[in-house]
Amino acid sequence: MKKEKTTNNKIIKLKTSAESKNLVHIVKLRIFLAFTIIIFIVLIIRISFIQFVQGNSLKEKAYQQQTINQIISPRRGNIYDSTGKALAISAQVDTITINPAKFVKDNDVDTKDYKEKIAKALSEIFELNYDEVLQKVNSNSQVETIIKKVEQEKVDTLKQWMKENKVSVGINIDEDTKRYYPYNSVASSVIGFCGSDNQGLSGIESKWESYLTGTPGKIVSSKGNNQQEIPNSKQTYISAENGSDLTLTIDLNIQTIVEKYLKQAVENNNCTRGGNVIAMDPKTGDILAMASYPDYNLNEPYTPNQILAQTYDTLSSEEKNEALYKMWVNKSVAETYEPGSTFKLITSSVALEENITSTDVENDFYCKSFEEIADRTIKCWSAVPHGSQSLRLALCNSCNPAFMQLGKRIGAPTLYRYYNAFGLFNSTNSGLYGEQSGLFHSLENVGDVELATMSFGQRINITPLQLITAISCIANDGKLMQPRIVKQITNTDTSTVTEVPVTQVRQVISKQTAKNVRSMMESVVIDGGGKNGAVNGYSIGGKTGTSEPPVGKKEDGYVASFVAISPIEDTKIALLVTLYDPKGKNGYMGGQVAGPVVSQILSEILPCLGVPSTEDASSDTNSANNIIVPDIRNKTVAEADKILRNAGFNTKTYVTGDANTVLVSDQTPKPGNSLSKDSIIVLYGQGNTISTSVEVPDLRGMTMAQAISALKSKNLNITVEGTGTVASQDYLTGEQVQEGTIIKVTLKPTLTNAH
């Protein structure tokens, strides 16, 4: 019995052991299962993260690793003048890039030598720093840019070197474009320029960037593990959309005339802050010419112009950047100024439109050479009282007290209503880069003094474009036109032409009021202070302006200006000349300084516009006795000399050899010019180059006889327009010209009343 009990106890122990082992296995299984579940959950989270969070970026990386994208650069649109002459063009050039990883040889030493050889060739061909090029060749980057905008000649040299040295991979020549400006500085402040990436940085190039730039295209192909293109793989071609061409309203011929005389005026009158000119068609708002001087070379925009170069090296980096920015600025739209007495035309228009007065009411105003306004005395520009005047006479005299009296009659609320109607409170929306709007006192802050000064154009600020647009409204029978600089947009891919519409903003004053103001403008040129703006054979209306420096900015100096329209009826052109801080011998008054410039410009522009002159014959010196210069080229020098002397000319010859056998290759002046007797003709025999060593003298202030003598002493010819003393000449003082060149001078009566 005891033994059975013992056996039973052992059996019980055995069962207990089995249960224990089973329990261990179950625990392990559970731990394993839990661990598996955790791993599974982590994997699900990771897969979800990759799929939903990193999916797009990984997909993009895979795409990049498996494809080759070749960018197709679009051609930037050209810019043309209104007659089709190219002002900005994109020429085909190339960009040189390298793939450093492909410059490998069998061992490290050969690879090092090979890379140094490539760096040496690239630096020599493209005139680059060797160490910088070598650094790029040794780079770990996939692609390094060596140089952009390379001319074809250097690309050909590189291709030849690659051929001779059997370099077929690693150096890439990609097509690109480079911006060129055929006329260098012409209309520089208007056109603007592009950066190295062909993106417009100023002017039309920047303002119209979205039209000019186009959209890049690309070629997409597949590549294998070796990063090489898979032959015969499928390619996707997305063509580039080229930029659109722009046709401007600017006429290159008129622009060139304007710039010639603006440069001359700024230099002759020592205008320390430069000047600008705007020519506009009043009927359409088209800007025919717009110039600022000093200008700059569009092909080298970061090179200081001649004036800035004098001090550029002394400036700090920050000052240099600021100076370059000022050099690029279009003063016609980006800078405001006090218009001075030219603004009296606006005050006159408001007065006539509101029936506050009419043009010729006698004793309407009285000038005692000053006006008492509130707590101060505001003087007239003239120390001699103008006395009793009508509006017409007050405008001819440019009398400040008369216009202060008129402004008081009109009142500030009415003036502001018309200022707004003339577009003086807002920019003109011309499409020009950097355009500003006028600066005026808030109406509630206009007191008696502010009302008085703004009536004659002081202590308010507007842009030159705002003023010429308002004056064009008067010339256009009271209809205000939005200025237009871009005339057409041409899609170069489809040849579709989109016209930029001519836009009439509003009718500001009546046709009769506009006619009356134009009549007074004509009186200013005929009888008033604007006589220097007259042009023989044409009806000219105008107004002079001389504005004082702003309060607290005496260093800015005076601003001399002259605004003109022609012809008076059916006006074809409005012109504004503005000269900043003139300090020449002619003083700073608008009539004396800017008036002659207006006359010079209009005398050349009006014939270009087809405006007929009322004079059948020119008023050139001894025009009745003038002789037409014959064409004596390809005759022997001796024969030509005889023909010219028999006709009444003097001659000077440059000939090497026998004058009886050597033929004339050129002559100055050219055939067809009309000159007075005893004028000089310079002949050049074959093999002799034309001399340009004669310096033009300063003729201003001379009588006609003195001018003729001064030019004759330098073997130069003359044509004369007008009477009096020389007011202007068409070549700059000190300019180098050919012997025999014709210098056109304009004579004007000496004026003392030309404010």
- Residue whose entry in the numeric block shows the structure tokens 């260093």: 555
Beta-ladder partners of 575:
279, 564
DSSP string, 263-306: HHHHHHTT-TT-EEEEEE-TTT-BEEEEEEES---TTSTTS--T
**Most confident listed range (38-47, 87-96, 157-166, 364-373):** 364-373
Q: What is the pLDDT of residue 618?
A: 41
Mean pLDDT: which of 29-38, 566-575, 679-688 is highest? 566-575
Check pLDDT > 60 for residue 178: yes
Q: What are the residue boundaries of the structural domains of the chain, listed by start?
A: 2-53, 68-248, 334-481+505-608, 623-748
Whether the predicted pLDDT of 602 surpasses 60: yes
pLDDT of residue 6: 47
Give the pTM.
Answer: 0.75
Averaged over 702-715, what is the pLDDT?
88
Per-residue pLDDT averaged across 644-663, rounded? Answer: 90
**Nearest-5° Cα angle at 512, 509 to 513:** 45
Confidence class of residue 621 from pLDDT cuts 50, 70 and 90?
Answer: very low
Q: What is residue 496's predicted lDDT score, i.e. its pLDDT?
A: 93
| Residue in this structure with the two tokens 């100023």, named with its chain if needed | 202
- What pLDDT shows up at residue 16? 54
Token pair, residue 604, equals 């050349």
Average confidence (pLDDT) over 703-718: 89
- In the prediction, which pLDDT does 315 show? 94
Give the pLDDT of residue 624.
55
Q: For position 380, what pLDDT does the model report? A: 95
Model pLDDT, residue 327: 96
Average pLDDT on 636-656 reads 91
515 or 95: which carries more pLDDT confidence?
515
Residue with structure tokens 């003094």? Answer: 449
Of the candidate ranges 208-222, 356-370, 638-652, the one whose mean pLDDT is the lowest: 208-222
- Helix (H), strand (E) at residue 1: none
Q: Would you say 1 and 8 are in contact if contact means Cβ atoms under 8 Å apart?
A: no
- As a whole number of angstroms, the distance between CA 314 and CA 294 comes to 19
User: Does position 101 have pLDDT exceeding 50, yes or no?
Assistant: yes
**What pLDDT is attached to residue 721?**
83
The length of the chain is 755
**pLDDT higher than threshold 50 for residue 273:** yes
Top-level class of domain 623-748:
alpha beta
Say what percent of the chain tops pLDDT 90.
60
pLDDT band at residue 659 using 50, 70 and 90 as cut-offs: confident
pLDDT of residue 40: 85
Least confident interval from 95-104, 246-255, 622-631, 689-698 = 622-631
Mean pLDDT of the chain: 88
Using CA atoms, how far apart are residues 709 and 336, in angstroms rounded to an integer? 44
334-481+505-608 CATH: 3.40.710.10
User: Does the pLDDT at position 486 exceed 60?
Assistant: yes
| pLDDT number for residue 218 | 63
The pLDDT of residue 307 is above 80: yes
| Residue 514, pLDDT above cutoff 90 | yes
- Residue 6, Ramachandran bin (φ over 0: left; ψ between -120 and 50: alpha; else beta): alpha
Q: Are 579 and 273 contacting, i.e. CB atoms less than 8 angstroms apart? A: no
Q: Per the structure block, which two tokens stand in for 131?
A: 């160490």
- pLDDT score for 69: 57
pLDDT, mean of residues 120-136: 92
- Specify the pLDDT at position 220: 57
**Residue 556 scores a pLDDT above 70:** yes
CATH placement of domain 68-248:
3.90.1310.10
Higher-scoring residue by pLDDT: 671, 753: 671
What local confidence, expressed as pLDDT, does residue 14 receive?
46
- Show the tokens assigned to 36: 């598996």
Mean pLDDT value across residues 695-702: 88
Dist CA 626 CA 619 (whole Å): 11
- For 410-453, the pLDDT digits (tens) are 999 999 999 999 999 999 999 999 999 999 999 999 999 999 99
What is residue 219's predicted lDDT score, i.e. its pLDDT? 59
Q: What is the pLDDT of residue 18?
A: 56
DSSP label of 544: E
